[in-house]
Structure 1
């Protein structure tokens, strides 16, 4: 069994096709998926979709790339996190790749999410791009280790991965790890322990080989798992077992019978 630890099936590209996607997931052994929040205005409609699907879970957060989005308060996030199917805070973090100028707003938004996660006692979903030093510094200053989480769609160095794992974080690999151009990331993946690894699609983006350039969906997470099995010289079943167990260890609001713990 596989679990897609990060997707956006509520986005327009996938939402209306979800019944067909769910069938493809079933055929590929993908039994669960975490639908990740990127802003608050769309959160209610995302939750309506998640509530209707027993195979979907959700988070609450505002993406660091959404400069014009309404910044959440700690109370906003903590209140929404009480929903039974919300199992994480995020996606949050820092993205200096596109944003320029004074990025204090990004750093403050990130701090708000970490504080909310600590209050709600839920793990974090962290996005980081071209912001290694500030990401690690804020994680340390705000005591992100108290709740842990996942470094989603990881593309940074082994050194950063090790620093994050030392704070109790998991490292999640997306379709990028299957790209021929991703040699450095593939080398990093070889060094990440199985007990700290998650798999994801980040769909509708980043479709893995052999679907690169096409629309992605959670059924394709199996191709990420297949690549990691080759890189780690282990069986596909080992990747499936480890990443599934890691998902439930991290997002521990869910029990392994796929119910919300009371």
Structure 2
């Protein structure tokens, strides 16, 4: 059994064929997924998707690309919306210095608000971090010093130093299809070293399709290919990776009720 810990079912590439997406997941042994929020103002859409399918959950949060557009979203708003029965996480929020689509100050403000919401609710924070390793590590260390909170670095693309910082603070690391790419040696090194109880797999669909589907629109069923690569790197069977990542998902996303 596999679970896609991060996808975007609301994006048109997936929403146009949701029944087909679900059928292909079932055929590939993918038993569940979390559709991730990128704009709090669209929360009703994510909640509606999670209400429609028994094996879909959602999150609430603002992607760093839109941080400056949702500065009106307060900690209390995140906490209130996260009480929805099918909402199991806060985020995705974080820092993206690769695209810099929003001012960095706004990204940091948004991230800290989401951290506070995760700390209050006990729900895991789904963190987006790209080309911002030093600032992300500094914020995580500072905020953890003010009170621990559960989190996962999703679609891990950072260096070993940020991985080690996240793990030292109790965080999880999630690997996407990028880990299957030939030039992803550093990410593959992290996939080899992360403890067995701290890693997840995801698609970030419809983006970042793994080999052998690279260049195509990604979908949750393709998480199987990512899991196969992680299994190869760790010297495990696909079944073992499925067991470990599902157990880790159930522990981190405990509101799903999975065991």
TM-score normalized by the length of structure 2 = 0.95
In structure 1, the partner of 2:24 is 24
Q: Higher helix fraction: Structure 1 or Structure 2?
A: 2
Name the CA distance, whole Å, in 1 between partners of 2:189 and 2:10. Answer: 33
Name the CA distance, whole Å, in 2 between partners of 1:67 and 1:79. Answer: 19
**Does residue 255 in structure 1 map to residue 247 in structure 2?**
no
Aligned length: 257
In structure 2, the partner of 1:147 is 149
Which structure 2 segments of 5+ residues have no match?
none
**Does residue 217 in structure 1 map to residue 222 in structure 2?**
no
Name the CA distance, whole Å, in 2 between partners of 1:254 and 1:215. Answer: 27
Distance 1:50 1:102, change over 3 A: closer
Name the CA distance, whole Å, in 1 between partners of 2:104 and 2:160. Answer: 26
1:228-239 to 2 correspondences below 5 Å: 228-239=230-241
Question: What CA deviation, in whole Å up to 9, does each residue of 1:28-61 have, x standing for no partner?
Answer: 1000001100002221122112111101011100
In structure 2, the partner of 1:176 is 178
Name the CA distance, whole Å, in 1 between partners of 2:199 and 2:134. Answer: 22
In the TM superposition, structure 1's runs of 4+ consecutive aligned residues that sit over 4 Å from their partners are: none
In structure 1, the partner of 2:59 is 59
1:126-141 to 2 correspondences below 5 Å: 126-141=127-142
Question: What CA deviation, in whole Å up to 9, does each residue of 1:196-238 have, x standing for no partner?
Answer: 1100000000000000000001000000000011111111111
The 3-state SS of whatever aligns with 1:195 is coil
The 3-state SS of whatever aligns with 2:66 is coil
RMSD (CA atoms) = 1.5
Distance 1:101 1:49, change over 3 A: closer
> Any conservation in 2 of the 1:148–1:167 contact (CA below 8 Å)?
no
Which structure 1 segments of 5+ residues have no match?
258-262
Name the CA distance, whole Å, in 2 between partners of 1:215 and 1:232. Answer: 27
Name the CA distance, whole Å, in 2 between partners of 1:160 and 1:171. Answer: 10
